[in-house]
Chains A and B, each alone.
Chain A
Amino acid sequence: MDLEKAAGLIESEHQFFMKVHPQWSLTAGPQDMELVAHALRVILHMGKAGESLAEYQALLKIQHADGGWGRESTEDESAAWVSAFCALMLIRANAELQNEEIERSLWKSIDYFLQGQKSDGRWVDSEWGDLDTTSHPVSFFNVVLALGTPKMKEAVRSHWRKGLKFILDGQSQDGGWYDPVFQPSGVETTAHLVQDAVIASLVLPDGLPVRPAAEKGMKWILEHQAADGSWDDQNVDHTMDCTRSTLLISRMLRAEEKARPAIEKAMEWITASKNANGWPDFPGMETNLERTCDGLDVLLKYEAWRQADSLETVRRWGYAPGRTAFLRGVPAAV
């Protein structure tokens, strides 16, 4: 994909995203928290976390006493999946913001996940399969181990390993991860697990051996891509998940050239599926704001993948410290 075209799309879609600010921002009123987390990720990867403290402070205001967040900002009950996504966005933003209140909130989040983990290493959420649910706190802990304070790292390490083991043990012989209740096709679950939970162990100390699992996972994802570049019957969400997963895994396994044709085909399909503003759940449907955030995220991660600095991709997932290119004002070059 032409990088100028990618940059142009990012610019125009970000303008649309900001135009609909009241629809995703907690500063505007009650919100769907999954959408809020998606929006915060856009802010982060656009390099705007530093100027968006109010968004994060609004997130802190609705954190529950147990350290979690509800699926809706008005809900009293904490839910593991969305809580992990919120905590992940906070810790990554705080690498820039260096805010003490956020750090206190992160400790509350850590405690929420330490308390909620089951004896076999998983976390549960009534609206998500166990594998998918578990991948999110593990992803949060990945970033704690990459960017957190020494005390935070010490607090999470054994729980992280336990959660990661639960995920690795859940991989099928063919390399995919399946959930018979929620995701029998395995596409979204596999895409989530490899990028969120598994692959970071390659760069984190004291991790579990994950290379074989990651290689099998990437092979599975590539084998399940359709001829038109999409995944899961032209599912925009799952196609974006698989694309992002492939960007990260291929970079970390140094298998970029093997994955490049699939990535470029996917980017072409994703671009073609776009509406005038934003992305839909399936081509031809109305724009979905959460999907639009995913679309921006894919473009921003693709841009990172095209950087000459190979670590840029890893930084953009938060698995390696250091200021990312977008914060340093470095344009994509490859």
Chain B
Amino acid sequence: MAEKVAQVEDVPAGSSKLVTVDGNEVALFNVEGRLYAVGNRCPHRSGPLARGKIEPAPETGEPAVRCPIHGWLFDLKSGRCLTRPSACVPAYPVSCSDGQILLGPPQGEVG
């Protein structure tokens, strides 16, 4: 079941926001009007991905977030780590309704 986590206006284009879902930190990103949500903690040294910079993934050009601590790169759609393929963060399906941002159950391991 989808959970309301924020207002759309709380995450303007080019910004990020940290929310909590079932006790887990989730980083929300608005990349050119499109919303993404991934687990906030990098599996390397628990760096906060919500503080990371967005950049295009090297091979696909799709949006990716770079961990601000040691630079691991994560695909925002799948949560897959592009730096170390065996690592990943959970990716949450995002939808909007009545100005609210809703997250579905995560894909990938949480916590």
Q: What is A's interface to B at a CB cutoff of 8 Å?
A: 34, 126-129, 179, 181-185, 188, 232-233, 235, 237, 281-282, 285, 288, 290
Contacts and interface: CB of A to CB of B under 8 A. Distances in A.
Given A127-B44, A127-B84, A235-B51, 14 more contacts: A128-B70, A129-B71, A181-B71, A184-B55, A184-B71, A185-B71, A188-B70, A233-B51, A235-B69, A281-B47, A281-B48, A281-B51, A282-B51, A288-B46
A232 B47 CA distance: 14
Interface in B62-79: 66, 68-73
Interface string B50-92: 0100010000000000101111110000000001100000000
A262 to B, nearest CB: 21
Contact of A285 (B48, B66, B71): B48
A233 B48 CA distance: 13
A188 B68 CA distance: 10
A237 B72 CA distance: 15
B83 A181 contact: yes
A232 B66 CA distance: 13
Interface of A is mostly: loop
B14 to A, nearest CB: 14
A293 B48 CA distance: 19
A181 B44 CA distance: 15
Contact of B68 (A126, A129, A232): A232
B88 to A, nearest CB: 15
Contacts of A183: 70-71
Interface of B is mostly: loop
Contacts of B68: 232-233, 235, 281-282
A179 B71 contact: yes
7 contacts: A127-B44, A127-B84, A128-B70, A179-B71, A233-B68, A237-B69, A281-B69
Interface of B: 44-48, 51, 55, 66, 68-73, 83-84
A34 B45 contact: yes
A34 B45 CA distance: 10
A179 B84 CA distance: 15
Contacts of B84: 126-127
Contacts of B44: 127
Contacts of A285: 48
B64 to A, nearest CB: 12
Nearest to B51: A282
Contacts of A235: 51, 68-69
B69 to A, nearest CB: 6
A251 B77 CA distance: 47
A184 B45 contact: no
Nearest to B82: A181
A182 B70 contact: yes
Contacts of A290: 45
Nearest to A282: B51
Interface centre among A126, A183, A281, A290, by most chain B C-beta atoms within 10 angstroms, is A281
Nearest to A285: B48
A288 B71 CA distance: 18
Contacts of A281: 46-48, 51, 68-69
A69 B17 CA distance: 38
A128 to B, nearest CB: 7
B18 to A, nearest CB: 10
A273 B85 CA distance: 34
Given A188-B70, A237-B69, A282-B51, A182 B45 contact: no
